[in-house]
Amino acid sequence: MQILDGKLVSKAIKDQIAVQVAELKAQGKKIPHLAAILVGNDGASETYVASKVKSCAEIGYNSTLLRFDSQISEKHLLDNINMLNENPDIDGILVQLPLPKHINEELVINTIDPSKDVDGFHPMNVGKMVSGLPTFIPATPYGIMLMLEHYNIDTKGKHAVVIGRSHIVGTPMSILLSRNSNPGNCTVTLTHSHTKNLKELCLQADIVVAAIGKPEFVTADMVKEGAIVIDVGINRIPDASKKSGFRLVGDVKFDEVSPRSSYITPVPGGVGPMTIAALLKNTYHAAIGQKGNQN
């Protein structure tokens, strides 16, 4: 069993981007600038946005964090997105999800200028991704593809079972893995809460991608010997021994699944850092006006 070390791979990607940013600087060119919008005080969202902003600083990007109270009106939020759309200094815009219930998430995503939509959630970018055209690919599945590429994992002809069909993880993951590309060329089964024979399907999988949001949902009896296991889940479970009062676990029961797997991502330190690395790559492409991520 080999651990797929997201911290290590994301650092390698960030180091590479830092060199490219230094080159832009040396040539007197514009430095990439990411704007992040955070609404409310959700602890997990605060942590994610803070890591994204910190990573920007590490590699030499400019970043702007716009924070709003959870009571912000939908109109005020949309006005701010429009301001960022029109600001030529801003290359990438991300709105940390989820948003409070009174705000229409779809409307918010649709308001972001597709050429600055570095999360790749705008329908125009989703359409391009499905069509295999150059575009921004949603950061989490893009990060997973970069990880598979980094470890030179041969996915061709493998059966991948993706658990979860969200727009941000499961669905784009299934599309990317099924593409005629490397990594890719998998036969993909996309499963969800109405899937009847999940365990049976998982046992046939050469690759399992767990993106469910349920702590330690995937157990050893669901995983074939030698499978590649990608754990997307980030779940907080109470832990009195921690200062924060919780610890993070994935959607996979790591202790019992890891001995059966050929490769596995840990939580934390697996898919999470790769998501940030992929976001930074998308932002770089936005800044240089080249939406060319075709992984």
Residues in 181-240 that interact with ligand NDP by CB under 6 A: 191-195, 198, 211-214, 232-235
CB contact at 8 A, 293 and 137: yes
Tokens describing residue 91: 């290359």
The smaller minimum CB distance to ligand NDP, of residues 193 and 294, is found at 193
Which residues, in sequence order, are CB contacts of 266 under 8 Å at separation 6+? 3, 4, 5, 6, 231, 250, 254
Query: Which residues partner with 159 through β-bridges?
Result: 187
Instruction: Give the nearest distance from C-beta 256 to ligand NDP in angstroms.
Output: 18
Contacting ligand NDP (CB under 6 A), which of 168, 228, 230, 249?
168
277 residue type, one letter: A
For the segment 120-139, give every residue that binds ligand NDP (CB under 6 A): none
According to the annotation, is 234 in a ligand binding site? yes
Residue 133 C-beta-side C-alpha neighbours within 13 Å: 7
4-23: which residues touch ligand NDP (CB under 6 A)?
Answer: none
Give the number of other CB atoms < 10 A from CB of residue 160.
25
Q: Which of 55, 125, 140, 258 binds ligand NDP (CB under 6 A)?
A: 140
CA distance 92 to 85: 9
Tokens of 257: 């699944």
Neighbour tally for 18: CB within 10 Å: 15
Give the one residue of 104, 166, 178, 181 binding ligand NDP; rule: CB under 6 A.
166
CA dihedral for 9, 11, 17, 22, sign (positive or negative): negative
Give the catalytic positions in this structure.
52, 96, 119
- Tokens at residue 54, please? 């910190």
Least distance in angstroms from the C-beta of 71 to ligand NDP: 24
Among 170, 172, 184, 266, binds ligand NDP (CB under 6 A): 170
- Nearer CB in complex with ligand NDP: 186/209: 209
Q: Which residues ranging from 40 to 59 are in contact with ligand NDP (CB under 6 A)?
A: none
Helix (H, G, I), strand (E, B) or coil at 254: helix
Q: Is 165 marked as a binding-site residue? A: yes
# binding residues, ligand NDP (CB under 6 A): 25
Residue 230 tokens, joined = 């990608």
- Near ligand NDP by CB under 6 A, which window of 75-83, 144-152, 160-168, 173-181? 160-168
Q: Which of residues 260-289 bind ligand NDP (CB under 6 A)?
A: 271-272, 275
Q: Rounded CA gap, 253 and 215, in Å?
A: 8
Smallest distance, Å, CB 220 to ligand NDP? 17
DSSP secondary structure string for all residues of 189-206: EEE-TT-S-HHHHHHT-S
Q: In whole angstroms, how close is the CB of 203 to ligand NDP at the nearest point?
A: 15
Residues in binding site for NADP(+): 164-166, 234
Residues in binding site: 164-166, 234
Site residues (vs ligand NDP, CB under 6 A): 140, 163-166, 168-170, 191-195, 198, 211-214, 232-235, 271-272, 275
